[in-house]
Chains A and B, each alone.
Chain A
Amino acid sequence: MTGTLTVQNLSVVYGGVKPLTDVSLTFERDVCGLVGPNGAGKTTFFNVLSGFAVAASGTLDFDGTDLLAMNAAKRARWGLRRTFQQEQVIQSLSAWDNIRLTAEHTGGGRSAVDDAVAFVGLEAVDRPGSALSMLERRLVEIAKTVCGSPQLVLLDEPGAGLDQGETERLVGLIRRIPGEFGALVILVDHDMDLVSTVCGTTAVLDFGQVIAVGPTAKVLASAEVRKAYLGTADVEAGA
Chain B
Amino acid sequence: MTVLQRSSRVALWNPRKLFSPRTIVLIVVLAAWFVVGPSLLGAYWTRILTVSTVFAIAAAGIALLYGRLGLVSLGQVSLIGVGGWITLRVGHLGLPFELALVVAAVGTGIIGVLVGLPALRLSGLNLAIVTLMLAGAFEVVFTVTGFPNGGDGFLGRAQGGVLQQPLARPVLGTSDPEYFRYVLVVAVLMFLVIGLHLSNRPGRAWAAIRQSEAGALAAGIGTVRYRLWALAVVSATTGVAGGLLAGNAGLLDPISFKASASILLFATVLIGGAFSLLGAAIAGFLSQGLPPLLDAWGVPGNLIFVLLGLGMIQAITTAPQGIAGQLKGLVLRIGRAITSRRTR
Contact = CB atoms under 8 A, between A and B. Distances in A.
A105 B8 contact: no
B15 interface: no
Nearest to A50: B218
A92 to B, nearest CB: 4
Interface of B: 2, 5-9, 201, 204-205, 207-208, 211-212, 214-215, 217-223
Q: Nearest 9 pairs between A and B by C-beta?
A: A76-B220, A105-B220, A91-B5, A88-B215, A92-B8, A72-B217, A102-B219, A106-B220, A130-B6
A92 B207 contact: yes
Nearest to B67: A92
A50 B219 CA distance: 11
B201 to A, nearest CB: 6
A73 B220 contact: yes
Given A50-B218, A72-B218, A93-B9, A88 B204 contact: no
Nearest to A83: B218
B2 A130 contact: yes
A84 B223 contact: no
Nearest to A89: B211
Given A72-B214, A73-B220, A97-B204, 9 more contacts: A52-B214, A52-B217, A73-B217, A76-B219, A82-B218, A88-B211, A93-B204, A128-B9, A130-B2
Contact of A91 (B6, B219, B221, B223): B6
A81 B215 CA distance: 11
A105 B207 contact: no
A35 B215 CA distance: 23
B9 A76 contact: no
Contacts of A104: 201, 204
B208 A101 contact: yes
Nearest to A148: B220
A73 B223 CA distance: 9
Given A84-B215, A88-B212, A128-B6, A73 B204 contact: no
A90 B207 contact: yes
B218 A92 contact: no
Contacts of B214: 52, 72, 84
A77 B7 CA distance: 30
A76 B217 contact: yes
